[in-house]
Structure 1
Amino acid sequence: MAIKSFLISVVIAVSLTACAQDKNPVVTQYTHETVVPKLNIPWGFVFLPDGSMLITEKLGELIHFKDGKKTKISGLPKIKVLGQGGLMDITLHPDYKNNGWLYFSYASSNDNNAGANTSIARAKLKDHALSNVQILYKAIPNSERGQHFGSRITFDNDGFLYFTIGDRGERDLNPQDITRDGGKVYRLNDDGSIPNNNPFINRPNAKKAIYSYGHRNIQGMTKHPETGKLWTHEHGPKGGDEINIIAAGKNYGWPVISYGINYSGTTFTDLTEAPGMEQPLHHWTPSIAPSGMAFITSNKYPNWKGHLLVGSLKFQYLNKCVIKNNKVIEEERLLDGIGRVRSVRQGPDGYIYVGVENVGIVKIIPNK
């Protein structure tokens, strides 16, 4: 009888824990409309100066959306669709109006069919075609594993290009080894060259583009609108999704420290902290499976200004993190149950746009 009571207690405790994210309050003071319909996996999107959009479909299509019409862009390099990999993030150069450079991440085998790894490229767009395509970084070695390609791209206030590559499913091999790609945040100059003040530039055998390490799979990265610092989130295993503020040369601990466990329920580490390893600003257990990340700066949403948006693939909503003194003090759900939220951006018109799998790009309109 005692054993039975214990097991019931465990089941109840697990059920309560598993439902914890669903207990976040639901915000209803807005409506939404689908502005770009019928998209499969809109991994990333960006607004061009004329207000039109470029949207990446994971299966390997770059779409231009303008005046209600979708047009497929030609000229992409060869993309390897493998597990979580495919055509991923996209962003514009800070001076795009003058130089025309756009940047994107994708899974590439370098024309070798044996596996793939994450690549970063830039190109110019004219008449619905890419030209001057330049591969800026190609992670090696290729792997036939389908996990953890990353990959987000952003620029900082000094014009440096940052991108993320996941650990490629090699948990115990890549993230803690700065001589190997995977499980890292990288920094380049806008032309793909290595900044001479990168943290490991003088370390023998190190990958010189590495900016921080000890990451699992970062699928959210954005610049803080006031401090200019890079904020990221990354997938944990079962539990332990994290938000971090990225600093040069720092070790973010994966897999030596983690708040998560194996998907099977077994443990892989007993440590949640260790000397020389950064603690997350915030972590989620159970995992929300975060993807996409943006700060709200628009006057369209005065009560939300300064807070952080994170998509949830698992629970199918947009998570609003109320931020105070670099801490998440409250969480609320937007677009509750809409579908797997993959990407989020604040548009040039001040409205929030959200990429939802098998739905499209959705616009959030606050109630007046």
Structure 2
Amino acid sequence: MDFLSTPIKTAVSTLTQQLDTPFFVYDLDKLNTHLARLMAQTDVKLWYAVKANPLSKIIQSLDNAGFNFDVASKGELEQVLAQGISSERVLNTGPAKSPKQIKHFIARGVRIFVAESLNQVNWLNQHAQQQGIQLQVLLRVQLRWPEGEKNPLGGDSLTPFGLGCDEWQALNTADYPALHFDGLHIFQWGNMLSTQKLSELWSQMINPLTALANTLNITLKILDLGGGLGIPYTRDDNTLQWDELIQALAKIKQDAGVDELWMELGRYAVGECGHYANPVVERKLNYNQQQVILSGGINHLLRPAVTSQDFPVNLLRESQAPLQSMSLYGPLCTALDCLGEHSLPEDLNEQDWLVFSQCGAYGFSESMPYFLCHELASEYVIQNGNISCIRQVEDASHYLR
């Protein structure tokens, strides 16, 4: 699997002649082709999880493809609305819906919410009644399996996302006349790369979820499976096949007996379109370990420190030199600032640039850019073969007061 295409190599090479600090570049031509394929089916209603990448041009591509939008904060909501997207196409998820946030979302026209607690149900009903409106609500359910696994979304661990079936049974839906309880939401696994494993997990959800809906006197019209579809980060990783996934999802939809099946795609929608170019500062030998110090690190790409899974990386220039194991580090004064151990050409030197791929999701907006006051990375897009700057590099004076 080649993570670095010729158009990206050409674009990055051009930009490195003008820049001396790290930057992101997103291939919108590749993204648009991918999104068209995702939308060429009628079994699943697709939402874009804005947390994956809130860049304006990314959102516009999702909008043009026909996606709806899953937002989890006021900032994400305003970014989506700023692109001219109707609030009718917005779903509010996330564990921290305060009364103030709910009031703001309703004032901005949002009418679809995922409730994560009994408090949120109560607050949604209160504000809907005050405005004389009806809201569509899905209850987020957290299930537990003895054979479950852990990952950043929790997996089988206890998390703040939603409530268990027993806890939701305290809800009397008749007490909330301003709310239409149309479905259930469940999302506990991230970056899954096995269609079979996903299908097994989804299938195990059906019985407890339909039983809960019956207990609460909810007509289960909608089942929202969240996201969790993975992309490869190494050449040996599996690659999910969309057609096989759709077949599995169509069966889940039929078995659950719902009118609509929803998914909120983030990484799977945009992850493979993004790249991060990073200049080498120096290379040194330390305790027989080859160490490469880079201009950017977890201040721009935090994911390796959070998940212990690295982004794939290539030397930008061509080299026929043998590969050698090298440990890559960023500029921050913490041992956490490590971008992994990679096999790179042994002639790598201080004039080189490295390009990390699969960075279209959970890249810069998930990072910790302010620590040590380094520059904020610039962001570029390739569209119709043309390179455009969406955000210029900013030094620390941009945000320090």
User: Under TM normalisation by the shorter chain, which class is it?
Assistant: under 0.3
Higher gyration radius (CA)? 2
Query: When the two structures are superposed, what TM-score results if normalisation uses the length of structure 2?
Result: 0.25
Pick 1 or 2: higher relative contact order, CA cutoff 8 A, min separation 6: 2
Question: More strand by proportion, 1 or 2?
Answer: 1
Query: When the two structures are superposed, what TM-score results if normalisation uses the length of structure 1?
Result: 0.27
